[in-house]
């Protein structure tokens, strides 16, 4: 019963966010961003004790897509952060309650509280935000949604939850790998810069990776081609609807 809270949160995140299409604007102020052309030197931005190279964009258009995606991360991260805190707090408190009956009662109370705290926010999330949230849950807790459900229920239950999520193009098995997955690298880049600039509250990851080494290997290059393709498909569908 210790992870009932986590299950509730993940199920809400999976089944509610996936039903909303992306309807975001790419209009941003680009004055604070520098376009680094091929052959330019890579500048080091030194603030406090954090060393992060300035991102390398291929065009101003790429900056817009990056800022669009940053907005998604900024929306999802606080929820993943709070969920991680609630889960740690719940597990810590349950460890001090000897009675199994009292554990169940306490878990139900926390469940109702968290449901009221998160449900409305999650309903307003888009598919991209839902996917980012599931990835960040893995970052903050060290376990995928699928594994947490499997531990709580059974492998069969986890299979069906994951199958349902796949209908909405989301997977409860999503993991967080900034060293090998471009989208995860973008998420971590956004988070690290936000932590540095005090735009988001820092919470350490429970995964083992060295982002300083990762960003050095990638030369701080920003690849947003995936989102360009996504928006292109959305615009095409919108045009076809207007023609009909």
Average pLDDT, the chain: 78
Range of the domain at 41: 4-243
Band (pLDDT 50/70/90 cuts) for residue 114 is: low
Cα(243)–Cα(44) distance, integer angstroms: 49
Over residues 122-180, the pLDDT tens digits come to: 778 888 998 998 899 899 989 887 776 665 456 777 777 777 777 667 887 899 999 99
Band (pLDDT 50/70/90 cuts) for residue 236 is: confident
pTM (whole model) above 0.95:
no
- 4-8, 23-27, 136-140, range with the lowest pLDDT: 4-8
Are 63 and 35 in contact by the 8 Å Cβ rule? The answer is: yes
Average pLDDT rounded to a whole number, residues 92-119:
74
Average pLDDT rounded to a whole number, residues 217-228:
95
DSSP letter for each residue of the chain: -TTHHHHHHHHHHHHHHTTS----------TT-----TT----EEEETTEEEEPPB-S-HHHHHHHHHHHHHHHHHHHHHHHHHHHHHHHHHHHTT---HHHHHHHHHHHHHHHHHHHHHHHHT--HHHHHHHHHHHHHHHSS-HHHHHHHHS-HHHHHHHHHHHHHTT--TT----TTT-HHHHHHHHHHHHHHHTTSS-----SS---HHHHHHHTTTB---HHHHHHHHHHHHHHHHHHH-
Average pLDDT rounded to a whole number, residues 207-236:
94
pLDDT at 44: 43
Query: Is 50 exceeded by the pLDDT of residue 38?
Result: no
Average pLDDT rounded to a whole number, residues 208-218:
95
Choose between 170 and 41: higher pLDDT: 170
Over residues 44-59, the pLDDT tens digits come to: 444 444 678 999 999 9
Query: Is 50 exceeded by the pLDDT of residue 119?
Result: yes
The domain tally of the chain equals: 1
């Amino acid at each position: 019963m210790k992870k009932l809270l986590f299950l509730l949160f993940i199920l809400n995140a999976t089944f509610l966010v996936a039903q909303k299409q992306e309807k975001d604007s790419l209009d941003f102020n680009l004055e604070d961003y520098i376009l680094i052309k091929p052959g330019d030197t890579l500048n080091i931005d030194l603030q406090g004790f954090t060393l992060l190279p300035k991102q390398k964009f291929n065009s101003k258009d790429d900056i817009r897509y990056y800022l669009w995606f940053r907005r998604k991360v900024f929306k999802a991260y606080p929820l993943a952060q709070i969920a991680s805190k609630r889960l740690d707090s719940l597990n810590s408190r349950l460890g001090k309650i000897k009675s199994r009956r009292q554990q169940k009662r306490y878990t139900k109370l926390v469940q109702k509280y968290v449901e009221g705290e998160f449900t409305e926010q999650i309903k307003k999330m888009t598919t991209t935000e839902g996917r980012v949230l599931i990835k960040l849950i893995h970052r903050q807790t060290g376990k995928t949604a699928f594994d947490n459900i499997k531990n709580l229920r059974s492998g069969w239950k986890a299979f069906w939850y994951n199958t349902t999520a796949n209908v909405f193009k989301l997977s409860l098995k999503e993991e967080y790998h900034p060293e090998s997955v471009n989208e995860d690298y973008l998420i971590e880049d956004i988070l690290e810069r936000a932590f540095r600039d005090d735009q988001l509250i820092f919470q350490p990851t429970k995964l083992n990776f060295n982002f300083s080494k990762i960003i050095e290997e990638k030369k701080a290059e920003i690849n947003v081609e995936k989102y360009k393709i996504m928006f292109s498909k959305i615009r095409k569908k919108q045009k076809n609807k207007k023609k009909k």
